[in-house]
Amino acid sequence: MASAELDSTAEFERRALHLGVERGTVDALRAQGLNSYGKFAFSVPYSPGQTDESPLCDLIARTIGAAPSDGQMAALRRLFWESHSLALADIRQRSEHGSESVSKKLPASERKARAEEQKTRLTGVIWGPDSEPSHQLVDRFVAMVEEGVVSYVRPELCTSRALEVANTKQTNAFHLGPDGNLKLKEKDVDLECPISGELRLREAYRRKALAMDLAALVSYRVAEEWHSYLFMALQREVPKGFRSISVAQLMAADKRLWILLSEQTRGEVHSRAGQDKPCDAALTKLSSSHDVLNFLIPIPDVLDRQPSSSRSSPYLDTRSKGKGKGGKQSSKSAPATEAPLPEGCSLQKADGKPVCGLFNRGKCWHKTKPGKRCPRGFHVCWKTSCNRQRPWFECTHTD
Residue 140 lies in a domain: yes
pLDDT of residue 337: 44
pLDDT of residue 293: 93
Residue 179 lies in a domain: no
Residue 337 lies in a domain: no
Q: Does 217 lie in the same domain as 358? A: no
Report how far residue 265's alpha carbon sits from residue 150's, in angstroms, rounded to the nearest whole number.
Answer: 8
Q: Does 140 lie in the same domain as 30? A: no
Give the Å distances, CA to CA, from 390 to 283, 314, 394, 397.
30, 40, 7, 9
pLDDT of residue 256: 95
Residue 180 lies in a domain: no
**How many domains are contained in the chain?**
3
Among 38, 63, 97, the domain boundary falls at 97
Closest CA to 213 of 161, 109, 275, 138: 138
Closest CA to 23 of 32, 13, 37: 13
Report how far residue 38's alpha carbon sits from residue 90's, in angstroms, rounded to the nearest whole number.
Answer: 10
- Structural domain harbouring 53: 3-97
Q: Does 119 lie in the same domain as 74? A: no
What number of H helices and E strands is found in the chain?
A: 15, 4
Q: Does 262 lie in the same domain as 242? A: yes
Residue 319 lies in a domain: no
Among 239, 264, 296, the domain boundary falls at 296
CB 37 within 8 A of CB 5: yes
Q: Does 69 lie in the same domain as 129? A: no
378 three-state secondary structure: strand
The letter for the amino acid at 13 is E
Q: Does 116 lie in the same domain as 193? A: yes
Q: Does 225 lie in the same domain as 133? A: yes
Q: Does 28 lie in the same domain as 93? A: yes
- Biggest CA–CA distance in the chain, Å, is 124
Q: Does 63 lie in the same domain as 7? A: yes
Ramachandran angles phi, psi of 232, nearest 5°:
-70, -30
CB 209 within 8 A of CB 218: yes
Q: What DSSP string describes 268-301?
A: --PPPTTS--HHHHHHHHHTT-HHHHGGGSPPB-
Q: Does 362 lie in the same domain as 214? A: no
Among 97, 117, 134, the domain boundary falls at 97
Residue 11 lies in a domain: yes
Averaged over successive runs of 10 residues, the pLDDT of the chain (399 residues) comes to 68 84 87 84 83 84 84 86 82 63 71 89 90 92 88 94 82 61 69 90 95 92 95 90 90 95 87 78 93 91 51 47 46 50 86 89 84 90 86 79
Residue 375 lies in a domain: yes
Report how far residue 223's alpha carbon sits from residue 209's, in angstroms, rounded to the nearest whole number.
Answer: 6
Q: Which residues contact 193 (CB under 8 A, 6 or more apart)?
A: 156, 157, 158, 159, 160, 163, 200, 204
CB 41 within 8 A of CB 80: yes
Angle, CA of 157, 161 and 163, to the nearest 5°: 65
What region, left, alpha or beta, does residue 361 occupy, with left being phi > 0 and alpha being psi -120 to 50 degrees? Answer: alpha
Please name the helix (run of DSSP H) or strand (run of DSSP E) that holds residue 186, with its range, or none: strand 182-186
Residue 84 lies in a domain: yes
Q: Does 127 lie in the same domain as 87? A: no
Q: Does 75 lie in the same domain as 128? A: no
